[in-house]
Chains A and B, each alone.
Chain A
Amino acid sequence: DAGVTQSPTHLIKTRGQHVTLRCSPISGHKSVSWYQQVLGQGPQFIFQYYEKEERGRGNFPDRFSARQFPNYSSELNVNALLLGDSALYLCASSLRVPSGRVNYGYTFGSGTRLTVV
Chain B
Amino acid sequence: AQSVTQLGSHVSVSEGALVLLRCNYSSSVPPYLFWYVQYPNQGLQLLLKYTSAATLVKGINGFEAEFKKSETSFHLTKPSAHMSDAAEYFCAVILYNNNDMRFGAGTRLTVKP
Contacts and interface: CB of A to CB of B under 8 A. Distances in A.
Interface string A66-98: 000000000000000000000000101000100
Nearest to B98: A56
Contacts, number: 61
B44 A90 contact: yes
A98 to B, nearest CB: 13
B106 A42 contact: yes
Given A33-B101, A103-B32, A108-B44, A43 B90 contact: yes
- The range of chain A's interface size is 20 to 34
A7 to B, nearest CB: 13
Contacts of B90: 42-43
Contacts of A55: 99-100
Interface of B: 32, 34, 36, 41-46, 49, 51, 90, 94, 98-106
Interface of A: 31, 33, 35, 41-45, 48, 50, 55-56, 58, 90, 92, 96, 100-111, 113
Given A42-B104, A43-B90, 8 more contacts: A41-B106, A42-B103, A45-B101, A45-B102, A96-B99, A101-B99, A108-B44, A110-B42
